[in-house]
């Protein structure tokens, strides 16, 4: 009964199939309501801007806070319903939800501890950063292994995906995953010149961006029949964070976001396919900051953001394509396709719709003087922070 009570609300709110959504199932109820809320917020901001311009800045700020709160509360509600819906599957809860929950709690506690230590300028802060980072890292690795174990033994047992002629290739999956991981790590260490630590300010921004992206990912504008969907700007918060804080930090929160995606709507038949479709694919979003430090374009941040976003989105698309070719060839056969690469390229091209929405919204934001000013003020504050000890030392001398 409890499972039924949870199943109906989440299917009604998020499904666009079988008429569950609005307008005959063309758009989910959650997406429709969110679009209405967003429209009301934008219209209200425009009215204030033209009627009482001096209050426009505050109104936009409060509107952003209100919409963020709405998105987070909606995301939390839908996640709780999803967990309740799957709670009857005890193995899923034990091997997926509990490990993910433990990892998130450890990250939260670690963030709070580091925040307190850095605020007090404790000598233990550097040591505790390494210890807590190691604990969270181990928990993350264990969680990934348990998720892979659960789905690799649960979904592919009927032999459908590994049938003759399906092009299923473990070697292809592992090699493509390894190549993308190597490319991301190389880009982070060779091109990211930012030296700022992962301090309490960065952790706060990271938490907000991950939570907002996760909440927006529930707002699906439409879904594809074999997995994949277009969401309401769910990539944008991660992209903005990656642009503002650098590749290393962007890749890290992209990885965390990818793990959350694997819990939200999982379909996994092999450990390497799990990596390609979730952690690796969404980690690639963190490469949005690839051109953030490009000096020839310093006066056009919207162009730098758009270029980085296109590269990041293309690499995410590439990760999904590899998964489609080497793991889901059976779908191509069912569709009557003879070329697995062509089918996967065409099917996964929906990623570019998601990407286009995020790029357009991001370019609009980076074209705003207020938004650019906020980013510059943050950078200036960080510079003042790093120079302060040197100034104090000079005065003492």
pLDDT of residue 348: 92
Print burial letters for 53-79: b (CB count within 10 Å at least 16), e (below 16): eeebeebbeebeeebbebbbebbebbb
Query: Residue 98's CB: how many other CB atoms inside 10 A?
Result: 13
* 99, burial (CB in 10 Å: exposed 0-12, middle 13-18, buried 19+): buried
Alpha carbons 9 and 3: distance in angstroms, whole number: 11
The rounded distance, in Å, linking the Cα atoms of 114 and 120 is 10
- pLDDT given at position 17: 56
Helical H runs in 155-197?
A: 170-191
Contacts 24+ apart (CB under 8 A), 344-349: 344/320, 345/321, 347/224, 347/226, 347/228, 348/228, 348/317, 348/320, 348/321, 348/324, 349/317
Q: What pLDDT digit, counting tens, does each position of 160-216 carry? A: 787 777 888 888 999 999 999 999 989 888 888 777 766 667 777 787 788 788 878
Say how many Å lie between the first and final Cα of the chain, rounded.
Answer: 74
- Cite the beta strand spans of 248-341 per DSSP E: none
pLDDT tens for each residue of 253-283: 898 888 778 766 667 777 788 889 988 999 9
> 3-state DSSP call for residue 368?
coil
Apex 137 CA angle, 103 and 308, nearest 5: 100
> Is pLDDT of 227 > 70?
yes
Residue 331 · residue 337 · CB < 8 Å: no
The matching CATH number, chosen from 2.130.10.30, 1.10.1760.20, 3.40.50.2300, 1.10.287.40, for 157-366 is: 1.10.1760.20
- Using an 8 Å Cβ cutoff, are 168 and 161 in contact? yes
For the question of whether the overall pTM of this predicted structure is more than 0.75, the answer is: no
HEC readout, 84-139: HHHCCCHHHHHHHHHHHHHHHHHHHHHHHHHHHHHHCCCCCHHHHHHHHHHHHHHH
| Banded pLDDT at 390 (limits 50, 70, 90) | very low
Kindly list the domain boundaries of the chain, sorted by start residue: 1-88, 90-154, 157-366
Backbone angles phi, psi at 222, to 5 degrees: -160, 160
CA dist 177 and 296 (Å) reads 33
φ/ψ region of 26 (left if φ > 0, alpha if ψ in -120 to 50, else beta) reads alpha
Of 294, 187, 314, residue with least CA distance to 248: 187
Q: Which residues pair with 230 in a beta bridge?
A: 222
Percent of the chain with pLDDT strictly greater than 70: 73
Q: Is 17 helix (H, G, I), strand (E, B) or coil?
A: coil
Predicted local distance difference test score (pLDDT) of residue 27:
60
pLDDT of 8 reads: 57
Most confident of 94-98, 123-127, 135-139: 135-139
Q: How far apart are CA 20 and CA 220, in angstroms?
A: 13
Residue 386 pLDDT level (bands cut at 50, 70, 90):
very low
């Amino acid at each position: 009964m409890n499972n039924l009570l949870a199943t109906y609300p989440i299917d009604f709110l998020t499904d666009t199939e079988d008429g569950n959504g609005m307008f005959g199932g063309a758009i989910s109820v959650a997406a429709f309501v969110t679009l209405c809320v967003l429209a009301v917020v934008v219209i209200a901001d425009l009215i204030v801007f033209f009627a009482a311009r001096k209050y426009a800045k505050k109104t936009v700020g409060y509107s952003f806070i209100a919409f963020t709160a709405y998105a987070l509360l909606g995301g939390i509600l839908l996640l709780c319903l999803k967990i309740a819906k799957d709670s009857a599957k005890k193995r899923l809860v034990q091997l997926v939800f509990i490990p993910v929950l433990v990892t998130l709690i450890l990250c939260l506690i670690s963030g709070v501890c580091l925040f307190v230590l850095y605020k007090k300028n404790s000598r233990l802060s550097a040591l505790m950063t390494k210890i807590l980072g190691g604990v969270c890292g181990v928990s993350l690795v264990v969680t990934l292994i348990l998720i892979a174990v659960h789905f690799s033994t649960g979904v592919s047992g009927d032999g459908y995906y590994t049938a003759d002629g399906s092009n299923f290739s473990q070697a292809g999956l592992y090699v493509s995953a390894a190549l993308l991981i190597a490319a991301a790590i190389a880009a982070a260490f060779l091109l990211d010149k930012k030296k700022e630590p992962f301090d309490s300010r960065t952790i706060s921004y990271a938490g907000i961006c991950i939570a907002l992206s996760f909440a927006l990912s529930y707002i699906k504008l439409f879904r594809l029949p074999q997995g994949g969907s277009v969401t309401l700007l769910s990539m944008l918060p991660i992209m903005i964070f990656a642009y503002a804080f650098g590749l290393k930090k962007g890749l890290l929160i992209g990885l965390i976001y990818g793990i959350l995606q694997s819990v939200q709507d999982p379909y996994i038949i092999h450990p390497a396919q799990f990596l390609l479709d979730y952690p690796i694919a969404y980690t690639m979003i963190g490469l949005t900051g690839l051109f953030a430090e490009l000096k020839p374009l310093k006066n056009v941040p919207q162009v730098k953001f758009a270029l980085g976003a296109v590269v990041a989105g293309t690499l995410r698309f590439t990760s999904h394509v590899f998964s489609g070719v080497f793991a889901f060839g059976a779908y191509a056969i069912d569709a009557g396709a003879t070329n697995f690469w062509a089918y996967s390229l065409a099917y996964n091209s929906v990623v570019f719709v998601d990407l286009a929405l995020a790029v357009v919204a991001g370019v609009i934001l980076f074209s705003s003087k207020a938004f650019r000013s906020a980013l510059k003020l943050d950078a200036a504050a960080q510079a003042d922070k790093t120079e302060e000890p040197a100034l104090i030392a000079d005065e003492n001398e």
